[in-house]
Chain A
């Protein structure tokens, strides 16, 4: 088995196991309860529902981010310049997710407001959301270096010429 397949499979297995393990014996209000005054809304109980599970949630989310970044990294052939930037962006993404978890651990009530959101939520809205756009920026700016180089384009032209008249419509 190639190492990258092994890493992918391992990440996936751990994620699947964690999904099951973390779901066992859910406390009350684990996924919300009906609001006492407004039946069409739900409430989340209090933060105790995540007690003892925050570390698991951090690992679970971090593994997911790791899996996404790993897949992105595998789409860029090794040896192409600045490939390490993908890893660094992944590191930044993980750091923001860690900040979200830590600030949530300190509590939402009493947290300072940042641009209209309590700090833990602000990490989600102004941290995780824009930071993940880094990968799209990398795709757009490094496309000709990583994804489809001028050499790739001429190789593709040569493939097309050699196999012209071959099967069509996927046959």
Chain B
């Protein structure tokens, strides 16, 4: 059978399964608590896998190998942060956010922020920050989905390379279908399936990549080192300060990613967090093997002349699959790639819909809107359309910046307000508002500046600077302002 047909079949089968899960979850979604919070009834395994698969996005499966190909070891610093980053996020947030969710029947992160600071403005601004990050992030995910589908269709002669709009429509339709019908229940159960696919694929790819060059990992490193020792050194080509800024941003930033911390609110029991963390960590570490394996192999084979230079660094995964992987494995990997992208995008759609249908109306009017579940479904569709239009209309250069903008906004707005605020009674509402405004301004300003050609010396991450700045703003203003009165129940929970 034609290898391209196998790949197409695997991807279509994967999409059909996502639709089936959406239909199955439809019957289990009766109210907004089901739609946004899965009724706080998720088991340890599902929560653990949903957590890692929602953070290992298309960036991990496409951008990650591309970074290793382009910069050598530098991007290992993003992977190395995971154990301490996830641990820090669990230490800071997991218990307290789950307790508050149960105490106040909260169904979104802005709910928690509003309860903590007793302030509708904080709820509104947290929702706005989430929405800004979500649209930016979703646009990159949709563009990635369309890019992959376009390649598959083109290689099967189904449609030419000019089919980007069609591919956006197809991939968004599947995504929106299961998100609208089944809400977060469909999202986490597809995450479970997607996570398993990602783990299997990553192991097979790593074994294949290491075996593809004489001498295995040592052979690849020798080629890379011979060309440029710094590329094989611990800082890669990016250099020390750039790597350390990633270390800061990605370690501390996990605690501010809403698609991660929101899932911590959904577990069946508070005590489940202890078993969820090892599952999340193990899953992420195993899937990271794909990032390392493909990236290093492609850099080595291009350097030793075994492969023509790639047209773009992000082609590393696609070229590897065409040249070094068995067609069935390639089909599985493409399905895994879709899984990685969709598992992140569905979480964003859900929290974005919550911001639109649940949090912003409450922040503005003080009341919930009628038929909230219906409006949540409408908001999911509207958000997907907005992000798709944004993805199609934005230049490629901007799309790349938007992913970094999304992570940066989440980290710098939510780490101080949620991560620190839930642990420090002295954090004030004025400080929370100022930190979010600073975060949006700093990250937005950096994107505009980078589009205009400005670059931060040493490759230091703009998100890391914004995170440092917003945290300083939060702590500084909290110390300078009078401490706020907390609700008595919140005060007691914060002492636990």
Q: Which residues of A contact B (CB under 8 A)?
A: 1-2, 5, 8-9, 12-13, 15-16, 19, 22-24, 26, 29-33, 35, 38-47, 49-50, 53-54, 57, 60-61, 64, 68, 71-72, 74-76, 93, 100, 104, 107-109, 113, 115-118, 120-121, 123-125, 128-130, 132-133, 135-140, 143-144, 147-148, 152-153, 155-156, 159-160, 162-163, 166-171
Contact between chains at B270 and A148 (CB < 8 Å): yes
Contact between chains at A50 and B239 (CB < 8 Å): yes
Contact between chains at A153 and B270 (CB < 8 Å): yes
Task: Choose among A26, A43, A169 the residue that contacts B231 (Cβ–Cβ < 8 A).
Answer: A43
Contact between chains at B234 and A124 (CB < 8 Å): yes
6 nearest A-B residue pairs (beta carbon): A44-B230, A116-B217, A31-B459, A170-B111, A32-B237, A143-B274
Contact between chains at A43 and B237 (CB < 8 Å): yes
Interface presence of B309 (CB below 8 A): yes
Per-residue A-contact encoding for B454-475, CB less than 8 Å = 1, 0 else: 0011111000110011011001
Closest Cβ–Cβ distance, residue B214 to chain A (whole Å) = 13
Closest Cβ–Cβ distance, residue A144 to chain B (whole Å) = 8
Q: Which residue of B lies closest to A25 (CB)?
A: B457
Chain B residues with CB below 8 A from A155, complex form: 492, 496
Contact between chains at B488 and A163 (CB < 8 Å): yes
Contact between chains at B233 and A128 (CB < 8 Å): no
Binds A, one of B53-61, B96-104, B375-383, B432-440: B96-104
Contact between chains at B239 and A159 (CB < 8 Å): no
With A and B bound together, what is the CA distance between A163 and B103 in angstroms?
8
Q: Which residue of B lies closest to A138 (CB)?
A: B87
Closest Cβ–Cβ distance, residue B370 to chain A (whole Å) = 15
Per-residue A-contact encoding for B86-116, CB less than 8 Å = 1, 0 else: 1110111001000100111111101111110
Contact between chains at A133 and B281 (CB < 8 Å): yes
Chain A residues with CB below 8 A from B237, complex form: 31-33, 42-44
With A and B bound together, what is the CA distance between A44 and B465 in angstroms?
23
Interface presence of B287 (CB below 8 A): no
Contact between chains at A23 and B241 (CB < 8 Å): yes
Binds A, one of B76-84, B167-175, B343-351: B76-84
Task: Choose among B80, B465, B492 the residue that contacts A19 (Cβ–Cβ < 8 A).
Answer: B465
With A and B bound together, what is the CA distance between A16 and B113 in angstroms?
27
With A and B bound together, what is the CA distance between A5 and B425 in angstroms?
11
With A and B bound together, what is the CA distance between A104 and B73 in angstroms?
13
With A and B bound together, what is the CA distance between A76 and B88 in angstroms?
12
With A and B bound together, what is the CA distance between A19 and B76 in angstroms?
20
Interface presence of B252 (CB below 8 A): yes
Task: Choose among A1, A41, A167 the residue that contacts B104 (Cβ–Cβ < 8 A).
Answer: A167
Binds A, one of B130-138, B139-147, B221-229, B320-328: B221-229
Q: Which residue of B lies closest to A60 (CB)?
A: B244
Chain A residues with CB below 8 A from B221, complex form: 113, 116-118, 121
Chain A residues with CB below 8 A from B485, complex form: none
Task: Give the secondary structure class of A's interface.
Answer: helix
Q: Which residues of B contact A (CB under 8 A)?
A: 69-73, 76-77, 79-81, 83-84, 86-88, 90-92, 95, 99, 102-108, 110-115, 123, 216-218, 220-221, 225, 227-242, 244-245, 247-248, 251-252, 270-271, 273-275, 277-278, 281, 299, 302-303, 309-313, 358, 362, 366, 368, 423-424, 426, 456-460, 464-465, 468-469, 471-472, 475-476, 479, 487-489, 492-493, 496
Residue picked from A13, A30, A41, A135, most chain B C-beta under 10 Å:
A41
With A and B bound together, what is the CA distance between A125 and B77 in angstroms?
9
With A and B bound together, what is the CA distance between A46 and B313 in angstroms?
22
Contact between chains at A139 and B103 (CB < 8 Å): no
Contact between chains at A132 and B80 (CB < 8 Å): yes
Chain A residues with CB below 8 A from B248, complex form: 15, 64
**Given A9-B472, A32-B236, A64-B248, list of 18 further CB < 8 A pairs?**
A5-B424, A8-B475, A15-B468, A19-B241, A19-B465, A38-B302, A41-B299, A42-B237, A44-B239, A118-B233, A121-B232, A129-B79, A136-B277, A148-B271, A156-B99, A169-B368, A170-B108, A171-B366
Given A31-B459, A109-B225, are A44 and B87 also a contact pair (CB < 8 Å)? no
Task: Give the secondary structure class of B's interface.
Answer: helix
Chain A residues with CB below 8 A from B281, complex form: 133, 136
Contact between chains at A23 and B423 (CB < 8 Å): no
Contact between chains at B309 and A40 (CB < 8 Å): yes
Contact between chains at B233 and A108 (CB < 8 Å): yes
Contact between chains at A136 and B113 (CB < 8 Å): no
Contact between chains at A121 and B104 (CB < 8 Å): no
Given A116-B221, A124-B234, A136-B87, are A171 and B362 also a contact pair (CB < 8 Å)? yes
With A and B bound together, what is the CA distance between A70 and B287 in angstroms?
29
Contact between chains at B230 and A46 (CB < 8 Å): yes
Given A68-B88, A115-B217, A163-B489, are A31 and B275 also a contact pair (CB < 8 Å)? no
Contact between chains at A104 and B239 (CB < 8 Å): no
Contact between chains at A108 and B492 (CB < 8 Å): no
Given A38-B309, A168-B105, are A19 and B274 also a contact pair (CB < 8 Å)? no
Chain B residues with CB below 8 A from A121, complex form: 73, 76, 221, 232-234
With A and B bound together, what is the CA distance between A76 and B95 in angstroms?
12
Given A50-B239, A171-B362, are A139 and B423 also a contact pair (CB < 8 Å)? no
With A and B bound together, what is the CA distance between A47 and B433 in angstroms?
44
